Structures are given as structure tokens and as C-alpha cells.
Amino acid sequence: MELTEKTYKPNIAQVGQPVLRQKAKVVEDILAEDCQQLIKQMMSTVEQAGGVGIAAPQIFQSLRVFIMCSKPNVRYPNAPYMEPTAIINPEIMHMSTAVEKDWEGCLSVPSMRGLVPRHKTIKVRYLDQQANEHEVEFTDFVARIFQHELDHLDGLTFIDRLESTHDLVSESYWYQRYAAKG
């Protein structure tokens, strides 16, 4: 079988693709049909991929939208459960001084895990799918998801946050060495 772009191209942008390095645009009309369809597509994509979050640039749309949907799964067995939530035009208003390094993966960086420092607690502001404004404090794993996805809107991946390349491992090695320790 001949290997062509169609053969191996996933529906999620992969590291190296230019859309992942762009600063995403502010969403002007959240209630517009195209924005609502984008949110539905993102919800479906992240569910099918088994992720706990996905940003619009990861599905080739350079807009300031991401989905947070923390739940225990194969990739994150200890994740807390939260309802899938559309986060639109997000901003971090305050970050704790406490920072913790923990393992992250990314649907756009397949087969890799990195030990990434993130703020343990953040206070954020965002609009939801109905254009309602929220101010919320997130902690621990959910704060990590928010920061990870917000980075995508600013053209960054978790690789950019590593303190050292020694903090990057293959996902298969991560499962063998770290996942078993829970």
C-alpha cells in the first residue's frame, strides 16, 4: 500500500503543523451557527480521541475556544470527572505562586509525555457556549488542563513548557515506568 497524506493524516493537527503555532483569534459571535457547530465538532473529536481537552487550533480552526472534559480514562486514570465544558475567549486572572511538575500528553503530540510545570491554582474568566460569563477557580489537574489548552490558543504546546528535554519520554515508556505507579 502506498503511504499518502490521506493514509496517515489524522483529523487532529499534529506538532509541526503551522496552525498549532498561531495565536488564535477572539470569537466574536458565540451564538452563531458556525461557532456552535465548531463546539459540537470539538466535543465529538475529543470524545473519540479519549482526551480530557482539545483546543480549536487542534482541529485546524484558529479561534479562542477549547473544551475541558476531565474524566478517568486510559490516558489519565486518576482524572476527576467534570461535565464537558466549552471555554471561549478565556483569560487567566490570577495564578498561584505554587507550581507543580506533572506528566502531560497531547493529542497533537502523539506517543510522547512530558513533565510540565504548571500553576496549581488559577482564577479564570471565560464565556460558555451560551455566551454567559464565568469567573472560576480551578486547582490541580483541572487547572493543568486549562493551562495546557490555553497554551494551544497562544501557539504553544506542552513541549514549549518543558524545563529540559530530559523531561520528555515516549508514551510507551511512560506507561511502563510511571503509569503503573499510579
pLDDT tens readout for residues 115-135: 999 999 999 999 999 999 999
Distances (CA, A) of 119 to 17, 143, 147: 27, 7, 8
Ordered DSSP codes for 101-142:
EEEEEETTEEEEEEEEEEESEEEEEEE-TTS-EEEEEEEHHH
Q: Which positions are catalytic?
A: 149
- The closest alpha carbon to 115, from 98, 103, 100, 105, belongs to 103
Residue-level pLDDT at 175: 86
Number of H helices, E strands in the chain: 4, 8
Residue-level pLDDT at 182: 54
Residue-level pLDDT at 5: 44
Q: Which residues face 101 on adjacent strands?
A: 117
Residue-level pLDDT at 4: 43
Q: What share of the chain is helix, strand, coil (3-state, %, to 5)?
A: 35, 30, 35
Average pLDDT of each block of 10 consecutive residues along the chain (182 residues)? 43 95 98 97 92 96 97 84 96 98 95 96 98 98 98 98 96 84 58
Residue-level pLDDT at 177: 86
Strand, helix or coil at 22? coil
- Taking a C-beta distance cutoff of 8 angstroms, is the pair 165, 158 a contact? no
